[in-house]
Every structure is written in C-alpha cells, then in structure tokens.
Amino acid sequence: MARRPLVKNFTKGACCGHPSFHIEPLGIFPDPMSEPTVAPAATDAKPSVEMVNVQVDGVWMKFPKGMRMIKALEEAAKVIPHYCYHPKLSSPGNCRMCLVEMGMPSRPAPGQSEPEKDEHGFAKIQWIPRPAISCANTISEGMGIRTASTMVEEVRKGVMEFLLINHPLDCPICDQAGECRLQEFSVGFGRGQSRFQDEKVHKPKNQDIGARIVLDDERCIMCSRCVRFSSEIADEDVLGFTERGSQTVLTTHPGQRLDHNYSLNTVDICPVGALTSKDFRFQMRVWFLKETPSVCTGCARGCNTEIGSREGVIYRQTPRQNDDVNSTWMCDQGRLDFHWVNSDRRLIDPMLKDGAHHRTTTWPQAVSAVADKLRGLRGDQIAIIGSGRMTNEELFMLKKLAAALKTESLDIVPRTGAADNYLVSADRNPNTAGAGLIFCDRPGSTLATIRQKVASGEIKAVIAWRENLLEQAGFTVEELSQLEVLVAAHVMANAMAELAHVVLPTAAWSEKRGSMINATGRLQRLNKASEPPGNARDDWEVLRDLTQALTGTNGLYLVEDVFKSMATEIPELGGLSLGKIGEAGLPLLPSSEVIPLLHREADRKTRGIIVG
Amino acid sequence: MATKLLKRPKLTFGEKIYLPAIAKGLIITLGHAVRTFLQINAKKPKFTMEYPEEKWDAQLPDYYRGAPALVTDEHGRERCVSCQLCEFICPPRAITITPGELPKDDAFAKVEKAPREFKIDMIRCIYCGMCEEVCPEQAIFLRKDYAITGTSRAEMVHDKTRLYEIGGIRTGLVNKWNDLK
Amino acid sequence: MDWLSFTLITTLIKIVGLCFVAILGLVSYTVYAERRVSAIIQDRVGPNRVGLPLTLLGFKKDVSFLGLFQPLADGIKFILKEDFTPAHVKKFYFWLAPALCLVPALLTCAVLPFGSSITIPWNGSERTIPLVIANLNVGPLFVFAIASLGVYGIVLAGWSSNSKYPFFGSVRSTSQMISYEISLGLSLVPVLLVMGELNLVTISQQQSEHGWNLLPYSLRDGFDLNRWLLLIPLGLAFVTFVIAMFAETNRLPFDLPECETELVGGYHTEYSSMKFALFFMGEYAAMIVGSGITVTLFLGGWSLPLGLDNYLPKGTVWVGLLHTAVFFSKLIAFLIFFIWVRWTLPRFRYDQLMRLGWIWMFEICLANVLLTAGILWYIS
C-alpha cells in the first residue's frame, strides 16, 4: 500500500512481545544521534524466540533473531526511506534508498580472550566503512546500526540525486503528486538542486499497458515492486525490465498486458507516478481527498478500504492494510465498484405511484402512505425481502418492522459467483453472515416459497429493501404487478422501482455508518464518506420511521443506539458497540474459511521470503 | 535592555473632563470641513480623483493585483496543466478546476493534462495573488483589470474562455515543456 | 361628527406628514449629509453625482444636483438587493427585529411639537390645529417609555441571528442602553423642575414667551437674574442629556454595539437588503427624534429666540409654517452636530463607556437634580 504514513507506531504492529523500548520523538527527519544508553530489557518477551542485542543509533535494544534490519529499525521508530522494499514482497534490494551504516562486534585482539567492551558491557562495535541496505540484511548479536550519521545522509543524498537524474519532474501533471515517495524523500533526504547538465534520457510515456493501467516509463525508478507483485502475488508474470543502465525501461512481456483482476494494486505500491490508474487518471489531486476508512461491499470478503472523497463525490477506493482480511491488496472489480454512487440514476426523492406514473413526495407522506397501505393486511399476507448488502443495523431494524407487521415471510436474496484463488469470495453479498445472525435463519432458503406465495396471490404485499427482485431473486413483472402493495427501497432507479407503489430512496454503503460480518465471521465497520444525494436517507432511519408509523413507539436516534439495542438482543454481539469494532474489525463468528492469498502469504513469511 | 520608567502625566481638571479636548477636536475637523467645502465650491478638490473621468490606469504599478487570469505562451499553448495547486491554496476557495486530458493528437499532447474547465468566482476572489505565487507553470497571473462587474452571480464567475481572454498571450516565460524535457 | 372628522383628517395628515414625509425624508437626507460632511471633514468630495440620468434619454450630460438624488439611489439599491435570510437564524424574530427597531423611533415623534398652531377656516368656522400629533401631558415619559423599546429590536436581532458577532453587539447594546437611560432620565429632571410641566407643547409655548431654557432672555420680560442662575444646572443638564442621547442612539463615540473593528457589523451583521435598511432608518430616526427632544426641551422647540414670538400674530398659517421651519432648522443644525461629533471623536473602549455612564454621568445628573432643587428653593 503506497499511502501508509512514513512513521509507523511500532508498538501497534509489533510481531513479538517486546514493545517497551524508549521511544525517541518521531519525525520525518532522523533524530541526531543520542548518547548511548541501555534500554530496559523486554520483560514480556516470549521465551521461545531468541532475542539479540542490537545498537540502534547508540541505544542498545533487543529484537528477535533473524529479523530484517529495516523491520527492526521500523520497530525502533526510525524512519528509513525506501522504495523497493515492501513487507509483503520479496526484497531484491535494488533501489539502495534504505542504506544505513552498519557495524559488527569486534573480535578479541590477538592474545586476549575477550573483545574490548563498551560501558554497557557489549563488545565494541567496529563500523564498516561502506553502507549496507537494511531491507535485505538481517540483524545479529552485537550489531550496530546508524541511521542518521553523516555517511547515511550523504549516501541518501547521492541515491536521490541519481534517481532524479532522468526524472521528468512533471509533478504538476502527475497523479502521484502528493503521495509520491520521490517527492517526500527528495524533500526529506535529497539535495534540493539538480547538478545534471545533459539531456535527460527519454523513454516512452503515457503507455496503455492494461485495461486499467497507464505506464509512464520516464517516472519509473526501477524498484520492481510491480514486477514482483505480478509474479509473486497475482501469479501473472507480465511485467519486466528491458535495456540496461539508464536506458532500462519497465514494460510488459511481448503480447501480454497487465490485465489481471489485481492489476490496480501495482498502482498502489508504485512509489512514484510510473503506474497510474486509468479510472483515477486526472480526476482529482490526492491532497483534496478526504480518506474515510471503510469496507468493500463487493463480496463477502469485506476487504478493508479507504474511500477518497471530496465535497461529497467519491473519486477512488484503495485497499487498507488488514492482515486478517486482505493483507494490503484488493481486487480491481471491488475497488472500482463505486461509480454508481455518483451516478445520476440514483433515487433522490421518495415517490408514490399515482395511476401509471410516480410523483415525488415528502418523507412523512411516503412513510404514512406505506403504513396506511399495510395496516389493513394480515401478517401472513406480507413478505419482507431484505438484502445481504444491508448492514447489521438495517437488518435489525427490518426485523423490527417485520415484528410490527407480524409477518414471518422474511428472507434475503442470495448472490453468488465464482471464487478466485486470491481474495474474491463465492458469496457476493457482503453481509450474508450478518443476515443469518440477525434477520433470517438460513439466508436464501425461503425465497422460493415467498415467490410461490406471491404468484398464488397468498402474499399481497412485498417490501423489497435494497434488492431489485426482477434480477437475482427471479421474480417476474407479472408476479410483482399483481401485488396490492409493493414497497421498493433502493439506491438506484430500476425496473422494479417502476412497478413499486412506494419508492423509498436510501443510502449507499459509503453514505452511512454501520457494521457487517464478512465470510470469515469478522465484524467490520462502515464509515460515512459522503452524504446521500437529494432527499435520500439512511436506511435505518427510514425503517425506524416506518416501524414508528405502524406501532407508535420510538426511542432510537443514533445508529449507535441501534447497535446497542441489537447487542442486548443478540448474544453474539453482547458487550459490543460500533465504537468498539474499531477500524480493523473484530473476529466474531467461528468460520473454517481459508483466504487463499493470506494462506500463501503466511507460508512465504514462515519461509522468510517476505517480512510480512 | 534598560527599562525606563515613565511617569504617567498628571492631568489637569480641564484635561480630565475631556470637554475642552473635544471642543479642540471639533474645531480642527470644522477647519478641514470649511476648507474642503470651499475647494469643492471652487471646483478644485485637492486630493480627490474623480473616478470615471480620471483614472489611474496609466500609473498602475507592475505588481498591481487585479483580476486573476490564465495566459497562453508565444507557442499558443495554454500554460495551465490543471495541477489544482491554486485551487488548493486559494484562501476564499474562489477557484474550481475540472481537470481534463489532452487528446493524443493535440499539438501539445506531451503535456497530457489541461483544464477542461477553470472557474474563478470573482465574488469570492480577494485578489491576494496566492494563485500566481503557487503556480508551478507560470499559467495564472493577476492582471491590471480591476473593474469586474456583473449583473448576476453567474456572470461574475469567470470561466476558462473569459480567463484566457483577460490573460492574453504572455511571452518570455520559462519554456518548461520544451524538446529537452 | 364634524369635529371628529376634522380631527381625524388633520391628525392623519400630521402623522403622514411628520412620520413618513418629514422624518423618513430627513433620515435619508441625514444619511446623505453624513456622507457629505464626513467627506469634507476628511478632505474628500463625497457623493456628488447622482442626479437626473439625462444621458439615458439621449441628452449629452447628466444633471447631478450636487448628488442630492443619492438617497433615492440608496433606497432603490436597498430594495433591489438580494434579501438574504441565513439558514441558521430564528426566522420569526429575525424578521421581527428590524421592525421593532424602526417603529418605536417613529412612534416617539408623536409627542414632538413641531410648530405652534395653525388656524384655518373649516365649514364656515375657524378651527385651530395644534402642530403636534398627540398633545400628551406626559410627553418626556412617553418618549422614554417608547424609545427604550427600541432595545428589543437590537436584542432580538442579535439573538435571532444565531451568530457570535451579532450576539455580542446586542448584549453590548442592551447594557449600554440600560446604563445610559438612567442618566438620560435624570438629566431631564432639572428641566422639568424648572418648567414645572411635563407637557412638551406647554414647555415649547413657555419658552417661546419667556426665552429658551438655554437662552433665558425675552425682549418682553427683560433681564431676570434668577433665570440666568438656573442656567448653571440647565447647562449641565444639556451637556449630560446630549451625551446620554449619543449613547442611547448608538452614535459614535458610543457605537460599540456595531463597532466594525471588533464585531464586523454588530447586531445587524447577518442582515441584508431592506431588513438592514430598516435598522439603518431606525437608528437615524432615533437620532432625529432625540434631536427633536433636545431642541424642544433646551432650545425652545419651534420658537424664535429672545421671545420674538410675542410680537407675531398667533395662529396664522404663515406663522405656523414659520415655526415649523424654525423647528426643523434647529433639528437639522443639531443633526449636523451629531455628524460632526461622529467624524471627530474616536470610539470609547467598553469599560470606559461603562465607567463614564455609571461613575460620572449618573452621579453628575443626580447632583444636578439636587442643585436645581436647591436653586429653585433659594429663588422662591
């Protein structure tokens, strides 16, 4: 993921139990070297992991043996600029940006049994006169690392100068500007001025190398992250380098294109603007985007995402790291599945059918119209069809509505597709697990019965929430036309809304707060990135108003209250609240599902190929 | 720094009741009023420049900050590449840019990006010149136009056409997108 | 019936003539005067252009009339401007406030005697019309009672705007008005003691016969030492009354409720178009009525100086009109004094304003009442 902050709080992601180092104040620039002190030894270290002593910028610290230097430095809250290193990919060590000064413990002098000791009792470090890359070296006992010495500063300056020699410096038109590592490190570690007098090497620009990707070779710094991603993660080895030296270009293999369903991840991990997304190309500068942590609702995987929006318009969706769900990746299909939110086919006003046509109305009128139409009907004449795309809170409120109407014909519309061998789940409803827990016992099992009863005229009223029954559910126009009451709550104008007597416009997943349970039983939270268009409203509020119109009771004013009341009724959710879910989610239900991509990642981590 | 203690001046009773000072002030302003009144009557106001007939236009300094406008260079290229930095820096948020891509057959296709629409709301504009200062492409300049009027809000929003009309052609700018680039 | 219709018609004419033609006309021209006078005080020219737009009709040159049509243009501008009600305001009170500001100011002019009286023939008999809308026996009290209602307009404007600057402005205005109303009332007591009368018509009448309160000499009565002795408390009363009047009308140097440097526009920050204009008019109307009271109480109202009225025939149309003209001349002179002070003095600091009001003005006025009473006791 290209947009993590430069500085990471190492206590949060620490893989082993040694989080009690003395932490220097954080900052973009390395702190000046401090006087050597001994950090307190870790007390809660797991006995099974062998710990080694490493001196980092003069401070002795303990790290698990075999850790990569860059990871150890990250945990010591040191800022190590890097391009080619990515924790989920192998480390070729080709960008040279992560160079640090390294030293090894001195050996005993001839005739002595013990090496010379420093004041902390460790062997004196003999510094190596050349820098070493921290991304591909591992730490060892008694090692010393300097991240802020003059040599380190000089080599970083040198590396930056070389990287920028042929760089076109077209930041004003580059989509990466604002989240570009080249910009950040140039400011942080570069020299600020170019000494290069000659003509820059020209390479192909604006190349179409895939359905969703544009490549600009002049901007490429040959970090090979995209090459490694394609071969190691996506198993489609389509990218590679040709030519040599400063003429090296990144290109696709002859006759191949970067078209796989995970191709846009290469855009995320590209530290510069070489690979850019066609979908996001020239749409909005990244510094305008408000980033809202959310969850993808394309399938039951529930990949963690960040929604980039500005003034209520969503411009992009990028994966957010969650090592229990999606690592740092997501599929292109899910990522680009947001344009309908901005579409002009959105329903923006509640509508009542007046003869053959619909006319817009106000919410109070629409709600009382629904209540009036349903009041005369018995419970067994009404069916409520929800959706696996609704949040737990909405399903809970829909269940409340069902209780108010005394109907037991409840179901959601199942939606399936082929699972791939990476992240995409076969269940394309993001919240089937939530529906099973909250709304109906076995999601999808009674849908056929309901349809039969609608066809036979036994059921006279159908409330379809967030589903076009003419699609996956397989209802026909004739069946729906013979209903006395058809209430359609949806976000988009569709054929079923045409048939509905009352149309209620509701909010898209990015326009509300709520929770969902993914295929592996993990409870995750959606956050509000934008406002619903026009008079469209949050689903749970509409459901609350409908229930209130039917029963006269009320008492829910916040979606947090809905979750609270749900937590008291559903034992699995006991003691939880929307706030407690956090941005990373919580494991809630038992599940035997294995995520293929994460499984392989764990394997590579065990074998030491990646840092993880 | 040495501290010098000053004594608060002791006011006399006359000074304390302020009324004599007020009278003195009134006499001063009356003097100005009478003098100027006589000047106006003699049709020779001393300082006032009577605006629509007399204008400062010729004396406007080069750094005068009038209406912001977009410029084209001597090659006929629109300088703006819609990097949206001016939109970002604009304190009253007067600028709205819709970025666009240049077609591949455009004479300056190499630049790739150009504004599809560029709007400056002149009701919001405070003529601070931040847009000119932040522009990395020397594309936006504050011109000497100061009489920006309109009869509706829509009329006061300068669109791309109007901005290039005001800006005109500017020569001698850094040719950043040359062949060497 | 005849008497009733006559009274109704003449009163209506007086109401329309005074409130809407004279006062509102004076308001617009006071604004114009404000701009011209401030301009010449600051060595500028001021608005001198608006006149007949003859060029629109094909003539070569406009006629500017020294910009005397400026108030007309201002009025048209106010009416045509976008009338904007922000979404966050309390609408009912927001709309009510400007009216509450203007109406009390116009109401108070009901008791102002703006001339002596006119006798005209009506249905074969002679009838006398007193040149005052309402001949009340409690004139000054009525003025204070109504004028202090004006503060409600300001408070409501500040509160209903639901915005910080208007709120501060209205709070300042309230405390300022309450503080200075005390001095305002007290500073009048000496005049009332001396006149022994609360009827403004009678007060004017007495001054026309025996000389003004501030110029106690009439050719008929001759020199009277006692009255010149009373000039000491009356002069003090005049000074304190005028200062308190400045504070009451929120004029500089006491315009803290709307001081631009601190509060943007004060209590009317959120107002635009005609609603703003109503505040503006209310303020100037209050200023005009305040001047009218001052003129009536201290400067003889509609009377000529030195008791010259004693030698004029009473009740003829021409004398009545002359008295009206005299009244308005004094009023305008006083308005120009208001303007002159505004463009001379800087604004007080708020604590200074409060200190002046409570520690100096209040005590001085109180002492002045005792002084007047003492002198009156000594004389009698």
d(CA A28, CA A6): 7
Complex ipTM, two decimals?
A: 0.79
Say yes or no to pLDDT of B180 above 80: no
Q: Are strands A522-526 and A586-587 parallel, antiparallel or unpaired?
A: antiparallel
Amino acid identity at A460: K
Percent above pLDDT 90 for chain C: 2
d(CA C158, CA C154): 6
Task: Supply the CATH classification number for the domain A351-596.
Answer: 3.40.50.740
Phi-psi region of C266 (alpha: psi -120 to 50; beta: other; left: phi over 0): left
What does pLDDT average to over chain A? 88
Q: Confidence class of residue A4 from pLDDT cuts 50, 70 and 90?
A: very low
Percent above pLDDT 70 for chain A: 92
Segment A323-358, tens digit of pLDDT: 999 999 999 999 999 999 999 999 999 999 988 889
Say yes or no to pLDDT of A17 above 50: no
Say yes or no to pLDDT of A464 above 50: yes
The token pair at C270 is: 């959120």
**Which of B83, B87, B104 is nearest residue A173 as measured by Cβ atoms?**
B83
For the residues A5-22, what does the mean pLDDT come to?
39
**Which of B85, B110, B180 is nearest residue A199 as measured by Cβ atoms?**
B180
- Say if B112 is an interface residue toward chain A (CB within 8 Å): yes
CA A63 to chain centre: 29
Q: Which residues of B126-164 are buried (b: 16+ CB within 10 A; e: fewer)?
A: eebebbbeebebbbbbbbeeeeeeeeeeeebbbebebbb
Do the Cβ atoms of B29 and C344 come within 8 Å? yes
Query: What's the pLDDT score for residue A516?
Result: 95
In CATH terms, the fold of domain A7-148 is: Ubiquitin-like (UB roll) (3.10.20)
d(CA B15, CA C351): 19
Query: What's the pLDDT score for residue A559?
Result: 92
Return residues 69-108 of B near C (CB < 8 Å).
none
Query: What's the pLDDT score for residue A139?
Result: 93
Do the Cβ atoms of B32 and C43 come within 8 Å? yes
Query: What's the pLDDT score for residue A254?
Result: 93
pTM value?
0.75
Q: Which chains sit next to A, with 3 or more Cβ pairs under 8 A? A: B
For the residues A145-149, what does the mean pLDDT come to?
94
The token pair at B97 is: 């840019």
Do the Cβ atoms of B112 and A168 come within 8 Å? no
Q: Confidence class of residue A111 from pLDDT cuts 50, 70 and 90?
A: confident
Residue C110 DSSP code:
G
Assess contact for A228 and A196: CB atoms under 8 A: no
Segment B127-145, tens digit of pLDDT: 999 999 999 999 999 998 8
Do the Cβ atoms of B28 and C341 come within 8 Å? no
C114: distance to nearest CA of chain B, Å?
29
Q: Confidence class of residue A112 from pLDDT cuts 50, 70 and 90?
A: confident
A305 or C80, higher pLDDT: A305
Residues in chain A closer than 8 A to B82 (CB atoms): 173, 282
Query: What's the pLDDT score for residue B46?
Result: 73
Ordered by start, the domain boundaries in chain A are 7-148, 167-342, 351-596
Q: Confidence class of residue B66 from pLDDT cuts 50, 70 and 90?
A: very high
B160: distance to nearest CA of chain C, Å?
27
d(CA A453, CA A456): 5
- Among A234-238, A551-555, C167-171, the range scoring the smallest mean pLDDT is A551-555
Query: What's the pLDDT score for residue A308?
Result: 95
Q: CA of A288: which chain B residue's CA is closest?
A: B88
Query: What's the pLDDT score for residue C200?
Result: 83
- Mark the ranges of chain C whose per-residue pLDDT is less than 50: none
Query: What's the pLDDT score for residue C61?
Result: 74
Instruction: Say which residues have a Cβ less than 8 Å from residue A249's Cβ, sequence separation at least 6.
Output: A203, A204, A217, A220, A241, A242, A243
Give one DSSP letter per residue of A180-201, joined into a string: -HHHHHHHHHS-SS----SPPP
Query: What's the pLDDT score for residue A214?
Result: 94
Query: What's the pLDDT score for residue A230?
Result: 94
**SS percent in chain B: helix, strand, coil, step 5:** 30, 15, 55
- Give the residue ranges of DSSP H helices in A173-320: 181-189, 225-228, 264-269
Kind plus residue range of the DSSP H or E element containing A130: strand A125-133
Query: What's the pLDDT score for residue B133?
Result: 94
Q: Confidence class of residue B1 from pLDDT cuts 50, 70 and 90?
A: low
Query: What's the pLDDT score for residue A45?
Result: 46
**Which of B83, B87, B181 is nearest residue A168 as measured by Cβ atoms?**
B181
Query: What's the pLDDT score for residue A14?
Result: 39
Residues in chain B closer than 8 A to A170 (CB atoms): 181
Task: Given CATH 3.30.70.20, say whether it is the number of domain A167-342.
Answer: yes
Beta-carbon count within 10 A of B174 CB: 10
Assess whether the region A7-148 and the region A351-596 belong to the same CATH fold.
no
Domain spanning B58-177, CATH architecture: 2-Layer Sandwich (3.30)
Amino acid identity at A67: M
**Which of C40, C43, C340 is nearest residue B26 as measured by Cβ atoms?**
C340
Segment A207-226, tens digit of pLDDT: 999 999 999 999 999 999 99
Task: Find the length of chain A.
Answer: 612
For the residues B113-122, what does the mean pLDDT come to?
94
Query: What's the pLDDT score for residue B131?
Result: 94
Residues in chain B closer than 8 A to C343 (CB atoms): 29
CA C318 to chain centre: 25
For the residues A82-86, what does the mean pLDDT come to?
94
A81 or A555, higher pLDDT: A81
Do the Cβ atoms of A200 and B100 come within 8 Å? no
Assess contact for A330 and A319: CB atoms under 8 A: yes
Say yes or no to pLDDT of A41 above 50: no
B68 or C324, higher pLDDT: B68
Query: What's the pLDDT score for residue C1?
Result: 56
Q: Is A289 exposed, middle or buried (0-12, 13-18, 19+ CB in 10 A)?
A: buried
